[in-house]
Amino acid sequence: MNAGSGSRFVATPPPNLPLSERESAETEWSEEPMSPTGRLMEDVGVHIVAMLGLGIPLNLPVFRAGIEKELLPRYPRFSSIQVMDDSTGGKPRWVRTTVNLDDHIMVPKVNPTAVASDPEKAVEDYVAALTTVPMDRRRPLWDFHFLDFPTSKATSTMVLRIHHSIGDGMSFMTLFVASSCSTDDPSKQAAMPPPPKRTGPIYQRQPRPPLSSGKALLMWAFSYLVLAWHTLVDGVLLVATVLFLCDPRTLFTRADRGRKAHLCKRFVHRSLSLDDIKFIKNVVNCTINDVLVGVTSAAISQYYFRKSGDINTKKICLRSFLLVDARPVSSRQTCVSKVETGNRFSGLICPFHIALHDDPLEHVRRAKRLMDRKKNSLEVMLTRLVGEFLVKYLSVKIGAFFLRLFLTRTTIMLSNVVGPAEHITLCGHPVVFMAGSVYGQPQALTVHYENYGNTIEITLAVDDVQFPDCHQLLDDFGESVRLIKDAASLHIVK
């Protein structure tokens, strides 16, 4: 059921922007070409799903007013459609259009019996069914779905579905922060986590030491040789993956191995303690991302050995495509006066070893060594450049073909989005949790982490047929955090 009064809305830049930025926004937001990455997402058909638990019952007029006042003006692609531009050889462009909010806001009637018996499953079933419904391309490619009944974690649930060609997870996260306020102090904007030590992409060049320091200068020069070697190896593996290199078949491999995918994706999620993750990080002296990669390796290992009954402890190597935000980390900070649109992400191959370890901390240690190695490579930049080259100089069809081929030969998609450091109130509704993921990608399993306040929400997007016991797999992630934390505590005692 659509909600609202049938009003139409033309987005304009928010009035609180400085005059210079407002004039610039009015000029830039009229039309713009679609980026190569956006065109790839368009052709592959990847969509983003964000599930937000609300702390109060739905107040539709208030939320609707917030969408009109905050979200639409700040994100012009919410008010744009894709139009083929004959003057540029048929390349698509974003063109502004009038938005009828009734086409984008839904308050469905969910079976009351299903809600009464298991409200969490009712939400899951609704979102899973949503992945089988195509979006109307005559309108901007986004929609809100409000499930106005309580679950164990929230009073009501908002589901935002967006086509990935409009933007990526980080651009939408900064949009939410820019359009919201702190729940604890409504007079302030919510704070993003403090930036990491680096200020640029995953790899940064080391400053050259003084010429008088012979040994340091020699090590600096040697580091560039190592960088070149690692980049060459990673580049060869990327090409080999596209051409012939496949992961071994396991119960995580998509059943049809690259042919027609199952239409339905199911999303399950739960909260992990950010303090527990930080505790493990400090013990191992690594990053939060290293811990999450290690937890993922431990969880899929635990699930595999229980499910398969395999008693052979020989390591099995499965690879994931790890998404990496290519923006400077400074763009994640609190005061976001102008939200950056579009897709600015790349990726790298992140191997996981399915193995049994006497010390659960070994999963994190291995993850740290792996990520340290990846930080000494230009693989992220290379992946992005190759994708843009294929789209710009060959065609989007060829680029999408190679992307699908690459993804079908890896087993898992993995991502981690940095969220607000405190709870936010969005469009007049306090948000108690955020759980995001994607669908449309070839892999049968996608693991997505998203920190929010003092928690990290893990969301699994699974093939609904291949993983009927997906909640057991989700339990393995929580159990893996507990086991690794206990091992870290014993490590301190020793």
Instruction: Compute the Cα dihedral for 419, 421, 427, 430 and give only its sign.
Output: positive
Active site residue 164: yes
Written as six digits, the tokens of 276 are: 């527990």
**Is 40 within 8 Å of 402 (Cβ atoms)?**
no
Shortest CA distance to 244 belongs to which of 262, 261, 258?
258
Q: H helices then E strands: how many in the chain?
A: 14, 18
Q: Reading across the β-sheet that carries 142-147, which strands appear in turn? A: 105-106, 142-147, 156-163, 47-54, 429-439, 424-426, 180-182
Determine the Cα–Cα distance for residues 230 and 329; give it in Å rounded to an integer: 24
Buried b (16+ CB within 10 A) or exposed e, 6-24: eeebebebbeebeeeebee
> What's the Cα-to-Cα distance from 351 to each of 115, 195, 319, 443, rounded to whole Å?
40, 27, 4, 15
Angle, CA of 251, 374 and 240, to the nearest 5°: 60
Q: Which of 164, 230, 269, 423 is catalytic?
A: 164
Written as six digits, the tokens of 176 are: 């939410």
> What's the Cα-to-Cα distance from 171 to each of 48, 238, 344, 418, 447, rounded to whole Å?
12, 27, 9, 11, 19
**Is 360 within 8 Å of 298 (Cβ atoms)?**
yes
Residues annotated catalytic, as ranges: 164
